[in-house]
């Protein structure tokens, strides 16, 4: 897959293309249906399949006072998009200046002249351009004028509501990771680096790896059946993960992400890994003694193993180090 960075400054012709436009945070089931349509139509027409997206996410520029917790890092997004057979990933740097670009200018100068779009697939509620003045109706008007075909794709629903990145973020914040996985089509995963912890788990027979995540979006505090992708070993391991402040031990202030990896005893300090969340087993709570905590960890690990063996368990889709 070819990647064009800062594509707004890109002057060469990339067409003909069958394209879609969006933020594509999460690459959830609704977005996947669009990507699949684009690749199918590109193959049928002998064109290149293209995705036009924006970095940073527009909301981080337009609403800086409300930090956005993204579902995917830019690298995760790129790797997930590539899995669909997309030929061209077009990244536009979203700046305050770019946000004032009129919708017509964006379509005429960029989509038509430089990207050479012949078919453009967007969600039926898609909006773009300065003050979101552009919509599917404007695209259809300009398409008739410039010679390309815009097509609106119906939204995909889950449990009666439209799947959206906003819904998925809320589900993750509340610990509803199974519902998030149903909307994503895979379990929610965070990448990051393994860092040194305090070693308490090892002292009590449950060694853990501590993750410094690349993501701001963490599931609610609690214990989760999880999976770990370790690129160095090219393997996915089952695991049980705790997120929280470790209230049984004094002095816990920062939220930590610590994971006991099943059947794995090697050192991975400093390595980058990917951690996914399959099911929330329980909330975090304080135990009267360390002994009772250790007993509960054993029960949690057994429950996690049992769930991960379940045929309906959503799985980790590795995007790191491939």
Angle between helices 177-184 and 165-173 (to 10 degrees): 160
pLDDT of 202 higher than 70: no
**Which is more confidently placed, 48 or 155?**
48
End position of a domain, from candidates 158, 175, 209: 158
Q: Which of 8, 91, 97 is nearest to 54 (CA)?
A: 91
Distances from the Cα of 123 to the Cαs of 24, 52, 86, 173, 283, in angstroms?
11, 14, 18, 26, 37
pLDDT of 169 higher than 90: yes
Query: Tokens in use for 89?
Result: 């990933």
What phi and psi, each to the nearest 5 degrees, are found at residue 91? -95, 120
Residue 222 and residue 151 share a domain: no
Place of tokens 């790896």: 209
> Which residue(s) pair with 49 in the sheet?
18
The DSSP-derived string for 115-141 is: T-EEEEEEETT-EESGGG-EEHHHHHH
Residue 144 and residue 30 share a domain: yes
Predicted pLDDT of residue 312:
76
Predicted pLDDT of residue 255:
87
Distances from the Cα of 27 to the Cαs of 34, 187, 257, in angstroms?
10, 12, 24
| Domain membership flag for residue 195 | yes
Residue 213 and residue 97 share a domain: no
Please state the domain count of the chain: 2
| Domain membership flag for residue 249 | yes
Element (H, E) at 81: helix 74-82
| Domain membership flag for residue 153 | yes
Residue 191 and residue 154 share a domain: no
Residue 144 and residue 63 share a domain: yes
Average pLDDT, the chain: 90
| Domain membership flag for residue 293 | yes
Place of tokens 């800086």: 64
Q: What is the pLDDT of residues 14-28, one digit of tens each?
A: 879 999 999 999 999
What phi and psi, each to the nearest 5 degrees, are found at residue 23? -80, -35
- Give the CATH number, domain containing residue 118: 3.40.50.620
pLDDT bracket for residue 194 (50, 70, 90):
very high
Whether the CB-CB separation of 224 and 176 falls below 8 Å is answered with: no
Residue 113 and residue 13 share a domain: yes
Q: DSSP code of 219?
A: P
Q: How far apart are CA 68 and CA 89, in angstroms?
A: 22
Predicted pLDDT of residue 201:
60
Q: What is the pLDDT of residues 300-314, one digit of tens each?
A: 999 999 999 987 777
Residue 41 and residue 97 share a domain: yes
End position of a domain, from candidates 107, 140, 158: 158
pLDDT bracket for residue 50 (50, 70, 90):
very high
Q: What is the pLDDT of residues 244-291, one digit of tens each?
A: 987 666 665 688 999 999 999 888 999 999 999 999 999 988 887 778
Q: Among the listed ranges 54-58, 167-171, 247-251, 284-288, which one has the minimum average pLDDT value?
A: 247-251
| Domain membership flag for residue 165 | no
Predicted pLDDT of residue 205:
67
| Domain membership flag for residue 181 | no
| Domain membership flag for residue 239 | yes
Range of the domain at 240: 187-308
Segment 183-211 mean pLDDT: 84
- Give the CATH number, domain containing residue 277: 2.40.30.30
Q: Percent of the chain beyond pLDDT 90?
A: 67
Segment 84-95 mean pLDDT: 95
Residue 127 and residue 9 share a domain: yes
Query: Tokens in use for 160?
Result: 């009666």
| Domain membership flag for residue 164 | no
Residue 196 and residue 154 share a domain: no
Residue 208 and residue 120 share a domain: no
Predicted pLDDT of residue 133:
81
End position of a domain, from candidates 142, 158, 174: 158
Q: Percent of the chain beyond pLDDT 70?
A: 95
Residue 7 and residue 154 share a domain: yes
Residue 82 and residue 7 share a domain: yes
Predicted pLDDT of residue 281:
97
Q: Among the listed ranges 23-37, 222-236, 282-296, which one has the minimum average pLDDT value?
A: 282-296
**Which is more confidently placed, 207 or 47?**
47
């Amino acid at each position: 897959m070819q990647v064009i960075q800062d594509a707004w400054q890109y002057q060469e012709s990339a067409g003909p293309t069958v394209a879609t436009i969006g933020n594509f945070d999460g690459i959830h089931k609704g977005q996947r249906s669009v990507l699949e349509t684009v690749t199918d139509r590109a193959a049928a027409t002998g064109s290149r399949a293209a995705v036009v997206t924006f970095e940073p996410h527009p909301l981080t520029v337009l609403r800086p006072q409300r930090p956005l917790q993204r579902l995917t890092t830019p690298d995760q997004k790129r790797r997930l998009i590539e899995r669909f057979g997309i030929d061209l990933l077009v990244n536009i740097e979203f700046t305050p200046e770019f946000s004032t670009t009129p919708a017509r200018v964006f379509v005429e100068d960029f989509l038509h002249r430089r990207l050479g779009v012949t078919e453009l697939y967007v969600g039926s509620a898609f909006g773009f351009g300065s003050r979101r003045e552009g919509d599917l109706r404007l695209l259809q008007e300009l398409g008739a004028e410039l010679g390309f075909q815009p097509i609106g794709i119906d939204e995909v629903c889950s449990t009666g509501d439209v799947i959206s990145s906003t819904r998925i973020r809320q589900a993750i914040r509340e610990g509803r990771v199974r519902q998030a996985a149903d909307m994503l089509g895979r379990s929610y995963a965070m990448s990051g680096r393994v860092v040194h912890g305090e070693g308490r788990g090892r002292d009590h027979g449950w060694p853990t790896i501590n993750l410094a995540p690349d993501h701001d979006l963490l599931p609610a505090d609690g214990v989760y059946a999880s999976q770990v992708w370790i690129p160095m070993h090219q393997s996915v391991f089952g695991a049980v993960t705790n997120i929280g402040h470790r209230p049984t031990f004094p002095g816990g202030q920062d939220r930590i992400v610590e994971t006991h990896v099943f059947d794995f005893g090697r050192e991975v300090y400093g390595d980058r890994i990917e951690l996914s969340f399959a099911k929330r087993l329980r909330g975090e709570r304080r135990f009267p003694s360390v002994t009772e905590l250790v007993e509960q960890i054993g029960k949690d690990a057994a429950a996690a193993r049992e769930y991960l063996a379940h045929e309906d368990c959503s799985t980790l889709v590795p995007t790191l180090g491939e």
